[in-house]
Protein backbone atom coordinates (compact mmCIF):
# COMPACT_ATOMS: atom_id res chain seq x y z
CA UNK A 1 0.00 0.00 0.00
CA UNK A 2 1.29 3.41 -0.93
CA UNK A 3 1.06 6.30 1.49
CA UNK A 4 0.63 10.00 0.94
CA UNK A 5 2.36 10.76 4.25
CA UNK A 6 5.99 10.98 5.22
CA UNK A 7 7.29 9.29 8.37
CA UNK A 8 6.58 12.50 10.29
CA UNK A 9 3.07 12.55 8.81
CA UNK A 10 2.44 9.00 9.98
CA UNK A 11 3.52 9.91 13.51
CA UNK A 12 1.22 12.97 13.31
CA UNK A 13 -1.66 10.71 12.19
CA UNK A 14 -1.10 8.33 15.11
CA UNK A 15 -0.80 11.12 17.69
CA UNK A 16 -3.89 12.82 16.20
CA UNK A 17 -5.88 9.61 16.52
CA UNK A 18 -4.76 9.08 20.12
CA UNK A 19 -5.55 12.67 21.12
CA UNK A 20 -8.96 12.52 19.40
CA UNK A 21 -9.77 9.30 21.27
CA UNK A 22 -8.66 10.81 24.59
CA UNK A 23 -10.74 13.95 23.96
CA UNK A 24 -13.85 11.94 23.12
CA UNK A 25 -13.45 9.73 26.19
CA UNK A 26 -13.00 12.83 28.34
CA UNK A 27 -16.11 14.39 26.82
CA UNK A 28 -18.32 11.37 27.47
CA UNK A 29 -17.03 10.57 30.97
CA UNK A 30 -18.94 12.24 33.82
CA UNK A 31 -15.94 12.96 36.04
CA UNK A 32 -15.30 16.64 35.31
CA UNK A 33 -16.44 17.76 38.76
CA UNK A 34 -16.36 15.57 41.84
CA UNK A 35 -18.04 16.19 45.17
CA UNK A 36 -20.54 14.85 47.65
CA UNK A 37 -24.21 15.43 48.30
CA UNK A 38 -26.34 13.84 50.99
CA UNK A 39 -23.20 11.93 52.15
CA UNK A 40 -22.85 10.25 48.72
CA UNK A 41 -20.08 10.84 46.17
CA UNK A 42 -21.36 12.63 43.07
CA UNK A 43 -19.75 13.60 39.78
CA UNK A 44 -20.85 15.18 36.55
CA UNK A 45 -19.65 16.46 33.24
CA UNK A 46 -21.26 18.39 30.45
CA UNK A 47 -22.88 15.32 28.92
CA UNK A 48 -23.44 12.84 31.77
CA UNK A 49 -23.76 12.67 35.55
CA UNK A 50 -23.39 10.09 38.33
CA UNK A 51 -25.25 9.84 41.66
CA UNK A 52 -27.80 12.60 41.44
CA UNK A 53 -30.83 13.54 43.60
CA UNK A 54 -34.36 12.72 42.48
CA UNK A 55 -37.70 13.29 44.13
CA UNK A 56 -39.31 10.08 45.47
CA UNK A 57 -43.04 10.85 45.46
CA UNK A 58 -43.84 7.63 47.31
CA UNK A 59 -41.81 8.66 50.37
CA UNK A 60 -42.18 12.40 49.75
CA UNK A 61 -38.42 12.82 50.03
CA UNK A 62 -35.37 13.50 47.94
CA UNK A 63 -33.18 10.43 47.46
CA UNK A 64 -29.88 9.85 45.69
CA UNK A 65 -30.03 7.75 42.55
CA UNK A 66 -26.65 6.01 42.54
CA UNK A 67 -26.11 5.38 38.85
CA UNK A 68 -24.64 7.18 35.86
CA UNK A 69 -26.62 8.47 32.94
CA UNK A 70 -27.18 11.26 30.45
CA UNK A 71 -29.32 14.25 31.22
CA UNK A 72 -32.98 13.67 30.36
CA UNK A 73 -32.90 16.45 27.77
CA UNK A 74 -30.62 19.19 26.52
CA UNK A 75 -32.54 21.59 28.77
CA UNK A 76 -31.73 19.31 31.73
CA UNK A 77 -28.07 20.36 31.59
CA UNK A 78 -27.58 22.58 34.67
CA UNK A 79 -26.75 25.95 33.05
CA UNK A 80 -26.52 27.77 29.74
CA UNK A 81 -22.73 27.80 30.04
CA UNK A 82 -22.63 24.00 30.39
CA UNK A 83 -24.96 23.65 27.39
CA UNK A 84 -22.65 25.84 25.31
CA UNK A 85 -19.66 23.85 26.56
CA UNK A 86 -21.40 20.60 25.58
CA UNK A 87 -22.02 21.80 22.03
CA UNK A 88 -18.56 23.36 21.56
CA UNK A 89 -16.73 20.36 23.02
CA UNK A 90 -18.84 17.92 21.00
CA UNK A 91 -18.12 19.81 17.78
CA UNK A 92 -14.43 19.96 18.70
CA UNK A 93 -14.32 16.20 19.28
CA UNK A 94 -16.03 15.67 15.94
CA UNK A 95 -13.47 17.85 14.14
CA UNK A 96 -10.60 16.07 15.89
CA UNK A 97 -11.97 12.72 14.77
CA UNK A 98 -12.45 13.98 11.21
CA UNK A 99 -8.84 15.18 10.96
CA UNK A 100 -7.47 12.06 12.68
CA UNK A 101 -9.41 9.62 10.50
CA UNK A 102 -8.47 11.53 7.34
CA UNK A 103 -4.81 11.34 8.36
CA UNK A 104 -5.16 7.66 9.18
CA UNK A 105 -6.69 6.95 5.76
CA UNK A 106 -3.84 8.99 4.26
CA UNK A 107 -1.44 6.40 5.68
CA UNK A 108 -2.99 3.80 3.36
CA UNK A 109 -3.94 5.71 0.20
CA UNK A 110 -1.43 7.50 -1.98
CA UNK A 111 -1.99 11.10 -3.00
CA UNK A 112 -4.87 11.61 -0.55
CA UNK A 113 -3.17 14.24 1.57
CA UNK A 114 -1.23 16.95 -0.22
CA UNK A 115 1.09 19.41 1.48
CA UNK A 116 -1.70 22.03 1.45
CA UNK A 117 -4.27 19.69 3.00
CA UNK A 118 -1.75 18.61 5.64
CA UNK A 119 -1.04 22.22 6.56
CA UNK A 120 -4.77 23.03 6.69
CA UNK A 121 -5.39 20.03 8.98
CA UNK A 122 -2.51 21.15 11.21
CA UNK A 123 -4.01 24.64 11.30
CA UNK A 124 -7.38 23.25 12.36
CA UNK A 125 -5.68 21.33 15.15
CA UNK A 126 -3.75 24.45 16.21
CA UNK A 127 -6.99 26.44 16.45
CA UNK A 128 -8.46 23.63 18.55
CA UNK A 129 -5.50 23.79 20.93
CA UNK A 130 -5.77 27.57 21.14
CA UNK A 131 -9.52 27.28 21.81
CA UNK A 132 -8.87 24.73 24.57
CA UNK A 133 -6.20 27.00 26.07
CA UNK A 134 -8.69 29.88 26.17
CA UNK A 135 -11.25 27.68 27.93
CA UNK A 136 -8.84 26.30 30.51
CA UNK A 137 -7.09 29.56 31.36
CA UNK A 138 -9.70 32.24 30.70
CA UNK A 139 -8.13 34.92 32.89
CA UNK A 140 -4.48 34.52 31.93
CA UNK A 141 -5.11 33.78 28.27
CA UNK A 142 -7.54 36.63 27.66
CA UNK A 143 -4.91 38.85 26.04
CA UNK A 144 -3.55 35.99 23.91
CA UNK A 145 -7.04 35.12 22.65
CA UNK A 146 -8.11 38.64 21.67
CA UNK A 147 -6.74 38.10 18.19
CA UNK A 148 -9.23 35.31 17.40
Q: Other C-beta atoms within 10 Å of 110: how many?
A: 11
Phi, psi of 48 (to 5 degrees): -140, 170
Strand order across the beta sheet in which 40-44 lies: 33-37, 40-44, 48-56, 61-70
What pLDDT does 139 receive? 43
What pLDDT does 145 receive? 46
Return the percent helix, strand and coil in the chain, to nearest 5.
50, 20, 30
* 33 neighbors 76 (Cβ within 8 angstroms): no
Q: What are the structural domain ranges in the chain?
A: 7-135
* Chain segment 108-142, per-residue pLDDT in tens: 887 777 888 888 888 888 877 776 666 655 544 44
What pLDDT does 140 receive? 46
**Nearest-angstrom CA–CA distance, 24 and 26:** 5
What pLDDT does 1 receive? 56
Amino acid sequence: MASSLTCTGMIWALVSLLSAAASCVGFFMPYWLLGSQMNKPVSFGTFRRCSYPIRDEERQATVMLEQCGRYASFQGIPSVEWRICTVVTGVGCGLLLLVALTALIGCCISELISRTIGRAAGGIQFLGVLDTFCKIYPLTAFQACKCI
